[in-house]
Amino acid sequence: MASSEVPFEPPSPAPAAPTPPEAPLAERPRGRSRGTHVDQPHRCNPHLEDLLDALTKGNRPLGTTIQTFWRCLRSTPGYGPSH
């Protein structure tokens, strides 16, 4: 290298724009943007409620209630046991 040559230095990157602070977890949007998503209960929720009633109140036969809930969980959506 001759004394008049300057060594190559890559250009420095542009400074990054400051990132806005994150919103608290409770204020963050969930699901799709623009508020179009509405949470719906799981399709087996009525069977789960029946199971919990059978466990806590004893007003239903426990064995068949567990079977119905399990069948609902294992079924294809739209083809589960009727309630």
Q: What share of the chain is helix, strand, coil (3-state, %, to 5)?
A: 35, 0, 65
| Structure tokens belonging to residue 64 | 């068949």
- Domain positions in the chain are 42-77
Question: Which of 64, 37, 41 has its CA nearest to residue 51?
Answer: 64
Residues in CB range of 83: below 8 A, 6 or more apart: 46, 47, 50
**3 state SS of 53:** helix
- Indicate the pLDDT class of residue 5, thresholds 50, 70 and 90: confident
pTM of the complete model: 0.53
> Can you give the pLDDT at residue 13?
75
Q: Taking a C-beta distance cutoff of 8 angstroms, is the pair 29, 22 a contact?
A: no
